[in-house]
Structure 1
Amino acid sequence: MTDASRPQPPSYVRTYLQSAVIDADDFIDAARQRFRRVFRSHRPRHIAAYRGWGDADGVQMIGRVLAERPVGGPGEADSWWDNLLNTYQRFESDEVPGQPLKVQFGEHAVEVVTDHEGYYQAALPGPAQVDSLWSNAAASLPDGSLLTPQPVLLVHPDAGIGVISDIDDTILHSGITNWKTAAQLTFLHNARTRKPLKGVAKLYQALQAGRDGQGRVPVFYVSSSPWNLYDLLEDFMELNAIPPGPIFLRDLGTDAGKFIKTQGHGHKLERARELIQRFPKLRWVLLGDSGQADAELYTQAAEEFGNRIAAIYIRDVDPELESDYDRRVGAHFERVSASGVPMLLARDSGAIAEHAAQLGLIEAKWLDDVRREVERDEHRPSLAQAAAEGAAEGEDATASPAASDEGLRRPGGLPSAVG
């Protein structure tokens, strides 16, 4: 049964329940804050400065202030229990609300205050001229302590193309079509054993390089994962040479539009709309997967923005089968075709690269690199093998993780994203 076909309670009931939960959550948060003020146990010790974005017209920064630095990723010999404990601790992070901060970019600085979930947002003037894809800002406490660099992606006026990509089952294997495999990968595994989709690194490098090879195409990532996983997702991208970019995740608080949310994954479409409207000179390549609602969301974007959407690529999560996932994606092809936007249900990165080269979105010289990487990634452990290794570790907590591709053997852990 789909979300749309399930019986829904009346809107006034949903509104009442949502208000009740939010009021209860606010009451508990206020009680915790009073306790922490009395015992001075809630001082800021870490600024999570997420990647910002902007152009010559202005830059946007977001981040979060925490009472403790997030736990590190597992070591080479960490067991399934270590991974599980790290996951739990990461979701138990204590935010610091009402904390003044100074955010600086270039010669400009602003003072902001974190909201009741510990998040901050800052808008500052952009650079006089955009010369490179990345620049640096910084966030700190008002006295200059906890100074934290904050990378900022800058969109060049001649970039031409931008990329918006989903994460789970678009760049990262999650096993979303098999709940047992997904659960084992989520709780028993980490960045050393998680797999990127075949050929993803070279494909995204080709997209970022652009049709002129200048490397000016901005890449943004959207996901239903919580902000608690932000640095782990960044670690995964770095470990696998996937181009970095601002990542738009979600808060697990009870505020309207957060944990109690609109149906499905509509927030990803909201983020895409914001980016498309924010950078009106760009045409956009949208990438997602067939396992969730990406095809439907991107179809709406195509209908709203027409030729502002350069192409839509949907990864087939079960390419060996003709499944309901394929049929759901196929139902959107006619709507997308009517808008004039090219759309492809792709088996792997090689198919996407070939299509993108035909459209002039990437240089043809990248095709061999993408194909070679697809072949190399074929030799990485499968999801079933990775899950089986996790189960074996559960039986023997002293066992070290099985050897895998060298690119996945560096420190850093990664629970599964959720969208």
Structure 2
Amino acid sequence: MATPTPHPSQRPHLAAVVEDHFYAAAGWVLRRAGWRPRLETYSGYGTPDKVRVLARVLLSRPRPPAPDLEAHRAGRRGFRHFLTVPVPHRRVLLEVGGRTAVVASDRAGYVDVEIPTGSALAAGWQSAVLTVLDEPYPWEAEAAIRVLDEHTRFGVISDMDDTTMVTAVPRPLLAAWNTFVRHSSGRRAVPGMPELYRTLQEVHPDAGFFYLSTGAWNTANTLRAFLARHAYPRGPLLLTDWGPTLTGWFRSGPAHKEASLEHLMSWFPHVCWLLIGDDGQHDPEIYAQAVDRRPDHVRAVAIRQLTGGQRVLAGNMPNADPTEPGIDPPQVPTVAGRDGAELTRRLAGVPGVLRR
């Protein structure tokens, strides 16, 4: 699920056709076994007058939702998050503010809609109510919505992998182990990063925090549990779908990040952002492009630096000077550091970030 992009052809890719047929067959078998559609909701965001609501319709065993169901799902081994069967083209009733609308899930079961609210929503955390229609026992769930009004002037957009948590993405085998086998409770925070984010929240109490990753929506519960366990500020996750698209085998991670950055900056033109990432993949280049497009909307860029060996395995040559962030020439204040403590020291000298 990502910001929609136009497709050059209406003919779907073979991989997407195969995937759709597989899920249709699996769904038919599970429905005959008594499984029913359920809603998995994700945190959305918006302004007082318009919100983006995110959710997914999946098949589930016929059992009532338990209070600790989300915690149970978050604690499973990684591969089990990918053992899901979506329910495509299912009608869902959406209620937010004073407005109701009937929307439909897409081919992968996702609900990703922008809807005007019937009344001005207050800044902070609000909620939307979603209900699966056309079922004997409709499933109802709430989706959290982070509302930023015109008084919000500062926000944080942060990468996840190797920025907030140690995932070793540049090492493919270890990354696969972390994603598909290891329990989510075994994930470690990058030293000093939770403290940095909490300090940012203390300095900017009304700031919006957004966590941007190329990871799959299947891992959303795991990532939410990780952020809560390490007391990171609460904020919407911006993830992507897992599997083939209508145009190819794989989605473009950099394109997902670029589109998400542009979407947030266009939705909240009054917010000046701190962009936080790492140099293991493409964050410096993606953030530099965002600065080129909207320099007045970026307060600063902070890059967590991986070791030289990790960067080589990721296909990036290490910088000769470890204090350089790899963005040249910087149009906004740009800092780099090995961990959260070093980034905190460097950001302390940037006006409007760790001090008013």
How far the C-alpha of 1:131 sits from its partner, in A, is: 4.0
SS in 2 for 1:235: helix
Instruction: Specify the alignment match of 1:243 in structure 2.
Output: 233
CA distance 1:121–1:251, shift in 2 (3 Å): same
Local SS of the residue matching 1:67: strand
2:60 to 38, 59, 68: 68
2:281 counterpart of 1:292 = yes
RMSD across aligned C-alpha pairs, in angstroms?
A: 3.2
| Cα distance change, pair 104–325 in 1 and its aligned pair in 2 (3 A) | farther
Structure 2 partner of 1:149: 142
Q: Give the counterpart of 1:316 among 300, 305, 325.
A: 305
1:104-119 correspondence runs (5 A):
104-119=95-110
Name the stretch that deviates more: 197-206 or 283-292: 197-206
Superposed, 1:1-400 pairs within 5 Å as: 19-33=13-27, 39=32, 41-44=34-37, 46-68=38-60, 72-73=72-73, 86-126=77-117, 128-129=119-120, 131-142=122-133, 145-210=138-203, 213=204, 215-256=205-246, 259-262=249-252, 265-318=254-307, 324-327=316-319, 332-335=326-329, 337=330, 340-364=331-355
**Distance (Å, rounded) in 1 between the aligned partners of 2:34 and 2:328:** 58
In 1, Cα distance between equivalents of 2:272 and 2:336: 20
* Kept after mapping to 2: 8 A contact 1:353/1:362: no
- 1:166 deviates by 0.6
Q: Letter of the 2:52 partner, please give it.
A: Q
Structure 1 residues 66 and 187, CA, compared in 2 at 3 Å: closer, same or farther?
Answer: closer
- Paired AA for residue 65 in structure 1: V
Structure with greater proportional strand content? 2
Contact 1:18 1:260 in 2 (8 A): no
Provide the rounded CA distance (Å) in 2 between the counterparts of 1:145 and 1:201.
39
Cα distance change on mapping 1:120 and 1:272 into 2, 3 Å? same
- Return the offset for 1:181: 4.0
Structure 1 residues 47, 260: closer, same or farther in 2, change over 3 A? Answer: same
Which structure features the higher share of helix residues? Answer: 1
CA-CA distance at 1:120 after TM superposition: 1.1
- The SS at the match of 1:51 is strand
Q: CA separation in 1, counterparts of 2:157 and 2:169? A: 21
User: d(CA) in 2 for partners of 1:207 and 1:139?
Assistant: 33
1:309/1:341 contact within 8 Å kept: yes
Residues 311 and 319 (structure 1), Cα distance of their counterparts in 2 relative to 1, 3 Å cut: farther
* CA shift for structure 1 position 105: 1.2
String of CA shifts for 1:117-146, please: whole Å, max 9, x gaps.
111123333475554421122111237832
Rounded to whole Å, the distance in 2 between the matches of 1:285 and 1:25 is: 38
SS class of match (2:88): coil
Deviation at 1:332, TM superposition (A): 4.4
Cα distance in 2 between the residues matched to 1:331 and 1:122:
36
SS of alignment partner, residue 101 of structure 2: strand
Quick one: structure 1 residues 115 and 176, their matched pair in 2 at CA, closer, same or farther if it must change by over 3 Å? closer
Q: Give the secondary structure class of the aligned counterpart of 1:295.
A: helix
Contact 2:280–2:310 under 8 Å retained in 1: no
For the 8 Å contact 1:209–1:362, the answer to whether it is kept is no
How many residue pairs get aligned? The number is: 334
Counterparts of 1:32 and 1:190, CA distance in 2: 26
Instruction: Pick closer, same or farther for the CA change 1:344–1:93 going to 2, 3 Å.
Output: same
Deviation at 1:32, TM superposition (A): 4.4
Cα deviation 1:295-343 (Å, max 9, x = unaligned): 11111111111222111111011289996553399584323x2xx2111
Consecutive unaligned residues in structure 1, runs of 5 or more: 1-14, 76-82, 366-419
CA contact 1:130–1:154 (8 Å) conserved in 2: yes
Shift of 1:160: 0.7
Rg larger in structure? 1
Letter in 1 for 2:140: L
CA distance in 1 between counterparts of 2:24 and 2:173 reads 38
Q: Secondary structure at the match of 1:220?
A: strand
Maintained 8 Å contact 2:97/2:119: no
Contact 1:103–1:112 (8 Å) recurs in 2: yes
Distance 1:118 1:322 in 2: 36
Residues 179-231 of structure 1, C-alpha deviation per residue, up to 9 Å, x if partnerless?
45434434443233211111222211222344xx4x11101111111111011
Shift of 1:150: 1.1
Unmatched 5+ stretches in structure 2: 1-8, 62-68
Letter in 1 for 2:284: A
- State the secondary structure of the residue aligned to 1:302: helix
User: TM-score, length-normalised on structure 1?
Assistant: 0.71
Q: Which moved more, 1:224-233 or 1:341-350?
A: 341-350
AA aligned opposite 2:293: E
Given the superposition, is the C-alpha separation of residues 364 and 246 from structure 1 closer, same or farther in structure 2, using an over 3 Å criterion? Answer: same
**Structure 2 CA distance, aligned partners of 1:363 and 1:345?**
15
CA distance in 2: counterparts of 1:172 and 1:16, whole angstroms: 39
